[in-house]
Amino acid sequence: MPTAIEPAAGSPEASATGATGATGATGATGATGATGATAEHLPGVATLDASGVAAQNSPDVAARNGPGATMQDSPDFGATLPAGSAAEAAGALRRAARRALGGNAARPTGRRQSVALTARMLRALVRNPAFLTITLVQAVVWLPLFGSLFRGVAKIPGFGVQDYIDYLTPGVATMSVLFSAGWAGLRFIVDMDTGVMERVLASPARRWAVVGSTLVYQAVLVAVQVVLVALLGLALGAHFRSGVAGLLVMIVIAVTLGTVVAALSDALALVVRRQEALIAAANFLVLPLTFLSSAMMPEHLLPGWIRVASHYNPANWAVTASRTALSADPDWSSVLWRFFGLVVLAGLAWAIAVHAFRGYQRSL
């Protein structure tokens, strides 16, 4: 006996429904808002028997083959769904529902989807105060720790800075961004393990909006971290000689660098799909990026090969631009060029993450 392509309650396909929240609607049929609607109420939607063969009456069949015609009368009878039939059947139902409503009227814009997904992650962060505290406090601990440990290097001839805290504050802010954003992909892996990712894939959410929401969330987190580091730096005696403008530039640069690292972390998470692998890879990349920069030592005092490597290190671009912006007489053209380089990398990293997301979807 033929059975309708109707997602079971609680399944990932069923979670994609509900554009209007109608009671009793399942699958994409919920988009019509009809209580108790099923697949056969949608025009152009056929149903399948256990072997995947189309066998149920459809209004489109009657329209093409005359009143009283059944699916068996259709020249397409006997066609089967391709591989991945569960997800594709749900997609077919959603598309039919949108056609019934008139195009994409029931689908929110990508911006609204991104805002909703970002709000979900922020709520989850607030509900987990332990993780929030650790995430923010680690950035605050590093400044007094490294400031006390390396304070004596400011006395090296040619160092060029009297107060090491002035020099170190932009470096610690950048280091906090690298470690925080390097683990950003863990959210995707947790969603995979808990089944949330399946619900997202069954929803009409745009893939770039899904990736974009993680980057916006990370940007908020990075901005808060940098502000805390800056406030602590002021408390320890740092001087931001360009005032509020320099501090705002440092926050913008940190957010841009965080976008680059978080997008690559998301892409890596969609490939490795294991928390241990992502953490190991993030630590392997973040530590060299930190120490192959001028975060703790001026470039002219670095060994030759490290000095050459730092010129191609995005983390060093961020450190140098932030430090320049906070100086008494900033070279804004230098800041702008480094910021532009980070923006280009952020766009490329975002594209890589979206491509990895689509590859992950195709692999299911």
pLDDT in tens, 280-299: 999 898 889 999 999 998 88
Domain final residue, candidates 101, 125, 153: 101
Q: Which two tokens stand for residue 92?
A: 């077919």
Q: Is residue 139 domain-resident?
A: yes
- pLDDT value at position 86? 54
Cα distance between residue 334 and residue 324, in whole Å:
8
Mean pLDDT across the stretch 122-149? 82
- Is the pLDDT at 90 greater than 60? The verdict is no
Sorting pLDDT into bands at 50, 70 and 90, what band is 61? very low
Q: Is residue 83 domain-resident?
A: yes
3-state helix, strand, coil in the chain (%, to 5): 70, 0, 30
- Is the pLDDT at 276 greater than 80? The verdict is yes
208 and 72 in a single domain? The answer is: no
Does residue 105 contact residue 98 with C-beta atoms inside 8 Å? Answer: yes
287 and 214 in a single domain? The answer is: yes
Angle of CA points 108, 10, 278, to nearest 5°: 75
- pLDDT value at position 111? 80
Cα distance between residue 162 and residue 183, in whole Å:
35
70 and 160 in a single domain? The answer is: no
- pLDDT value at position 87? 57
- Is the pLDDT at 169 greater than 60? The verdict is yes
189 and 235 in a single domain? The answer is: yes
Q: Return the SS3 of 163.
A: coil
Distance spanning both ends of the chain, measured CA to CA: 28
- pLDDT value at position 107? 59
Instruction: List phi, psi (to 5°) of 54.
Output: -65, 130
The region of weakest confidence among 66-75, 149-158, 182-191, 198-207 is 66-75
Cα distance between residue 173 and residue 238, in whole Å:
13
- pLDDT value at position 12? 41
Domain final residue, candidates 101, 120, 150: 101
- pLDDT value at position 94? 59
Give the best-scoring range by mean pLDDT among 74-83, 104-113, 174-183, 342-351: 342-351
Cα distance between residue 26 and residue 104, in whole Å:
19
18 and 93 in a single domain? The answer is: yes
Instruction: List phi, psi (to 5°) of 104.
Output: -105, 30
Beta carbons within 10 angstroms of residue 324's beta carbon: 21
- Is the pLDDT at 229 greater than 50? The verdict is yes
- pLDDT value at position 204? 83
- pLDDT value at position 353? 94
257 and 180 in a single domain? The answer is: yes
Cα distance between residue 166 and residue 178, in whole Å:
20
35 and 133 in a single domain? The answer is: no
- Is the pLDDT at 259 greater than 60? The verdict is yes
47's CB contacts (< 8 A; 6+ apart) are: 2, 3, 4, 5, 39, 40, 54, 55, 56
| Structure-model confidence comparison of residues 109 and 314, the more confident one | 314
- Which amino acid would we find at residue 344? V
Q: Is residue 2 domain-resident?
A: no
- pLDDT value at position 106? 52
Q: Is residue 57 domain-resident?
A: yes
Q: Return the SS3 of 54.
A: strand
Does residue 45 contact residue 33 with C-beta atoms inside 8 Å? Answer: no
Q: Is residue 1 domain-resident?
A: no
Q: Is residue 254 domain-resident?
A: yes
86 and 156 in a single domain? The answer is: no
Q: Return the SS3 of 48.
A: strand
Cα distance between residue 5 and residue 11, in whole Å:
13
Mean pLDDT across the stretch 46-63? 42
Cα distance between residue 144 and residue 168, in whole Å:
10
- Is the pLDDT at 51 greater than 70? The verdict is no
| Structure-model confidence comparison of residues 165 and 134, the more confident one | 165
Mean pLDDT across the stretch 156-169? 85
Cα distance between residue 5 and residue 234, in whole Å:
62
- pLDDT value at position 104? 47
| Helix axis angle, 129-149 to 164-182, nearest 10° | 150
- pLDDT value at position 262? 96
Half-sphere exposure of 344 (CA within 13 A, CB side): 8
- pLDDT value at position 98? 56
Does residue 93 contact residue 43 with C-beta atoms inside 8 Å? Answer: no
Give the best-scoring range by mean pLDDT among 16-20, 23-27, 95-99, 330-334: 330-334
Mean pLDDT across the stretch 90-110? 57
The region of weakest confidence among 23-27, 248-252, 293-297 is 23-27
Cα distance between residue 6 and residue 327, in whole Å:
63
Sorting pLDDT into bands at 50, 70 and 90, what band is 157? confident
- Is the pLDDT at 357 greater than 50? The verdict is yes
- pLDDT value at position 231? 92
Domain final residue, candidates 62, 83, 101: 101
291 and 228 in a single domain? The answer is: yes
Cα distance between residue 251 and residue 326, in whole Å:
11
Mean of all residue pLDDT scores within the chain: 77
Structural domain harbouring 85: 12-101
Q: CB burial class (10 A; 0-12, 13-18, 19+) of residue 175?
A: buried
Q: Is residue 4 domain-resident?
A: no
Give the CA dihedral 209, 215, 216, 219, nearest 10 degrees.
Answer: -170
- Split into its structural domains, the chain has a count of 2
Sorting pLDDT into bands at 50, 70 and 90, what band is 301? confident
- pLDDT value at position 95? 63
Mean pLDDT across the stretch 227-247? 91
Q: Is residue 276 domain-resident?
A: yes
